[in-house]
Structure 1
């Protein structure tokens, strides 16, 4: 599970910024990138070359990257496992979903023996990471549209036989549903993530921006900060959230920044690749 484990890198850290840069551009730029281009791009993010090289070594050890030499140039490509992980993350990060009041819920009931406590710890950790809430130690809950991700985690940990998934409609609780939901999820923490993002990026230009280093740095750091939010926040329906929930404003801001910065940032990366290789680099994936 090393590839997935490293997903939890703290936003803003060297490894996190490198992972974000790789996720945004390596696949779009032919699936391979020269080592020099990666260090050059990380320098734009104020990361010294030596720290980037250390982070690249870590990502190789974690099974995220493989070293490849092309035309005598040292570079890196994604492993198959990392490519799948990034592809799953694309939907989560770029297209955050929200439950409607009549949408179904998924209940995850599991019992993992003490002899497998490390896998039990990993299960709880990863369920929390994808936005599941805790009803009881062995009973977790999430929107039903996250069921596939839950199944992936159970399969990866080889815990399918220790878990049962149920589909249910609106939970019946004694008392106010919003108060109960606040016990299943740390809504104060989630609201804080949304508010902090809006504070940090609320003044970012979202109209026409140039294809330069400032646009690139702003966009990568924005994505690196944002990527945590659509994972840990499951997108609960409004009926389960406080009236002043900041999630909607945060999502609108992120989408506006992505629309304005995505293409100019990619154009800047292509410029760096051209300067490093001396030849034009074709985009291998359409930008949406």
Structure 2
């Protein structure tokens, strides 16, 4: 393992389509490698992928891509295997907080405004900044002024640092926005609430097609859910339509994940044959 690879920023794959080989493998790694001590044999990882319906050849190709993206590092510990890149830990921990403890704002919570002016010579950075701000759930007040919940300020700062764009941006903490119309109308302009609603309803519908096997059901549940806690900022009820489906989505996710997690962990313990421990 080179020091450059260990120090490199490892990002979540926001383009991996839920249910795809790439997305399922990333979810599998994110859920279980840390409790396993950070290392797993190649054979066990391929076997677990097979339990998700991924054929061996596709699994090996997908694992190689995770290695190329920096999430995994090839490491022999007796058998050939893979170690979780230490540089990925903070990304995965941040994901845990989002996925398992989705926050809903109240009217008393603060906001973070991100104002930036990036020169045309750095337009690729500007594009990446907007893309990653969208990924953490920020809304667009104007092309160069974005808004997100105040508790996401640290994530916004981290994005700016990673893109070397900090010198072009100023962050403000703010109380409730004062708008010309209603806050519900403003939220619908700043965020694509229609698309978010559709994502919530699609997630709820997908729960009817989870596999019977607890391990496969648990991994697929996390995989189908993991994008929503990022793209949905958890706006306060005062800024949302009365029939907003977000709370039901989280409640259903929390119920099912609590029901399936134990059996899924037991399955992984059995697969690794006692060579590691899943907490």
TM range (shorter): over 0.9
Contact 2:14 2:135 survives alignment (8 Å): no
Aligned residues: 272
Give the whole-Å Cα distance in 2 for the aligned partners of 1:204 and 1:256.
14
Give the whole-Å Cα distance in 2 for the aligned partners of 1:202 and 1:112.
46
In the other structure, the counterpart of 1:169 is 175
State the TM-score, normalized to the length of structure 2.
Answer: 0.94
Give the whole-Å Cα distance in 2 for the aligned partners of 1:2 and 1:225.
25
Residue-by-residue CA offset, 1:140-177 (whole Å, 9 max, x unaligned): 00010111110110110111111000011110111121
Residue 70 of structure 1 aligns to a residue whose secondary structure is coil
Give the whole-Å Cα distance in 1 for the aligned partners of 2:277 and 2:210.
29
In the other structure, the counterpart of 1:6 is 13
In the other structure, the counterpart of 1:210 is none
Residue 6 of structure 1 aligns to a residue whose secondary structure is coil
In the other structure, the counterpart of 1:139 is 145
Residue 109 of structure 1 aligns to a residue whose secondary structure is strand
Residue 155 of structure 2 aligns to a residue whose secondary structure is helix
Contact 1:66 1:76 survives alignment (8 Å): yes
Contact 2:214 2:263 survives alignment (8 Å): yes
1:227 matched to 2:233: no
| Unmatched 5+ stretches in structure 1 | 206-212
In the other structure, the counterpart of 1:149 is 155
Contact 2:210 2:220 survives alignment (8 Å): no
In the other structure, the counterpart of 2:245 is 246
In the other structure, the counterpart of 2:77 is 70
Give the whole-Å Cα distance in 1 for the aligned partners of 2:277 and 2:12.
32
1:282 matched to 2:260: no
1:185 matched to 2:184: no
In the other structure, the counterpart of 1:214 is 213
Residue 213 of structure 2 aligns to a residue whose secondary structure is helix
Q: Structure 1 residue 3: deviation in Å?
A: 2.7
Give the whole-Å Cα distance in 2 for the aligned partners of 1:202 and 1:10.
19
In the other structure, the counterpart of 1:53 is 60
1:18 matched to 2:18: no
State the TM-score, normalized to the length of structure 1.
Answer: 0.91
Contact 1:2 1:62 survives alignment (8 Å): no
Give the whole-Å Cα distance in 2 for the aligned partners of 1:231 and 1:84.
16
Q: Structure 1 residue 7: deviation in Å?
A: 3.9
Give the whole-Å Cα distance in 1 for the aligned partners of 2:117 and 2:179.
23
Q: Structure 1 residue 4: deviation in Å?
A: 1.3
Show structure 1 runs of 4+ deviating over 4 A.
Answer: 202-205
Contact 1:202 1:253 survives alignment (8 Å): no
Residue-by-residue CA offset, 1:230-280 (whole Å, 9 max, x unaligned): 000000000000000000111000000111111110110110110xxxx44
Residue-by-residue CA offset, 1:156-202 (whole Å, 9 max, x unaligned): 01111110000111101111211111010000111111111111115
RMSD: 1.6
Contact 1:14 1:51 survives alignment (8 Å): yes
Q: Structure 1 residue 5: deviation in Å?
A: 5.7
| Unmatched 5+ stretches in structure 2 | 1-7
In the other structure, the counterpart of 2:131 is 125
In the other structure, the counterpart of 1:209 is none
Give the whole-Å Cα distance in 1 for the aligned partners of 2:10 and 2:209.
34
1:268 matched to 2:267: yes
